[in-house]
Amino acid sequence: MSIQLFTPTFRIEECLDEIRECLEKGWTGLGYKTTAFEEKWKEYTGLTNAHFLNSATVGLSLALKILKMECGWQDQDEIITTPLTFVSTNHAILYEGLRPVFADVDQYLCLDPEDVRNKITAKTKAVLFVGIGGNTGQYEQIAAICKQNQLKLILDAAHMAGTRLHGQIPGKEADAVVYSFQAVKNLPTADSGMICFKDTKHDELCRKLTWLGINKDTFARSNDKGAYKWKYDVEYVGYKYHGNSIMASIGLVQLKYLDQDNAYRRQLASWYDQAFQGRVASIPVADGCESSRHLYIIEASNRNELLLALNECGIYPGVHYRDNTEYRMYSYAHGTCKNSHRTSERIISLPMHLRLSKQDVDFIAEKVMTYSK
């Protein structure tokens, strides 16, 4: 038997029913289920806009592109970001010709407000905040810093589907919130994502850019009267970034179970906590945060040995993440974020998915306590 870090659970029959509707109708592309999913997502989050994409990576890229276009940012203007994230976050900054400036992380492994303040220069335009593992960290302080310094705020909410802060879905104050529905995230499809702009003008521009710069989507066109449906305008050299109805079908079903699934993830986390009884250092969840619990992260001084020992027992944890300044394209910032660097050598993400039982958690916890230092 082996216990993987992530094993997604799909409501197979319901997903197939939704997909069947697409196939029977003959509509698998943009529009139809994508529109339905966007509406449901707005209802669920309370965010003003939602546009369904083929990944969160393109969402982060679009958030930066559109803010750069609309706010007149220059190449090499600075975006404050975290070194402890999936590279997608920071690559998105490079795609747009902007410069990632790394600030250190706090005890939640999220951006540390004090270091963000230290890293602001005359060229800083925005802060990109990542809610690691579904944690909100000190997001409210970061939002306040952005407001004081007239910086834009982008929330990489790839881990945060279903996270609440003081009972609300966070992100209403952010200029853009980007969710991932990639294969192993809390709301898994296969690959897709959602971008939620605060400003409806940005959402409208985004819809054009995700379909080659064309100013109307096929669904709207097919409902138009007249013989000139084909005569749309192309306003921008846009991209092929929009989502499709097959992914949206899976998303619509998975969304119905998101809160229930996340509640079980929090149950798993509390079983880990109980088993460890403070004998293993785990990353705390911020006050007021009801975390989606995408991850359960612990620290160990013998991390690499511990990983190997757990593998020997059939347990396959992960590491989220390696300090990005160790990668060649970000190495200019190596050594600028001491806590990230140190933590990156010590963290392990323990298995966290809906097929785990209390017995599994107890088994994993026992092995962790046996082999960790």
Q: Alpha-carbon Rg of the chain, whole angstroms?
A: 21
Q: Are 220 and 9 in contact (CB under 8 A)?
A: no
Q: How far is the CB of 215 from ligand PLP (least distance, A)?
A: 26
182 is a contact residue toward ligand PLP (CB under 6 A): yes
Show contacts with ligand PLP in window 320-349 (CB under 6 A). Answer: none
Q: How far is the CB of 180 from ligand PLP (least distance, A)?
A: 3
Characterize 272-301 residue by residue with b for buried, 16 or more Cβ atoms within 10 angstroms of its Cβ, and e for exposed. Answer: bbebbeeebeebebbeebbbbbbbbbbbbe
Q: For the chain, how are helix, strand and coil distributed in percent, rounded to 5?
A: 45, 15, 40
Residues 6+ apart with CB under 8 A from 205: 66, 69, 70
Q: How far is the CB of 25 from ligand PLP (least distance, A)?
A: 26
Q: How far is the CB of 105 from ligand PLP (least distance, A)?
A: 13
Q: How far is the CB of 138 from ligand PLP (least distance, A)?
A: 17
Q: Determine the interface stretch with ligand PLP among 26-34, 42-50, 55-63, 164-172 (rule: CB under 6 A).
A: 55-63
Distances (CA, A) of 196 to 51, 71, 86, 257: 6, 18, 20, 21
Torsion angle of the four alpha carbons 220, 221, 225, 231, in this order, in degrees rounded to the nearest 10: 150
159 is a contact residue toward ligand PLP (CB under 6 A): yes
Pick the binder of ligand PLP from 50, 67, 126, 130 (CB under 6 A).
130
Nearer to ligand PLP, 66 or 158 (CB): 158
Number of residues that bind ligand PLP (CB under 6 A): 14
Pattern 87-126, ligand PLP, x by CB under 6 A: -xx-------------------------------------
Q: How many helices (H) and strands (E) does the chain have?
A: 13, 14
Q: How far is the CB of 178 from ligand PLP (least distance, A)?
A: 7
Pairing of strands 176-180, 152-156: parallel
* Interacting residues toward ligand PLP by CB under 6 A: 55-57, 85-86, 88-89, 130, 156, 158-159, 180, 182, 193
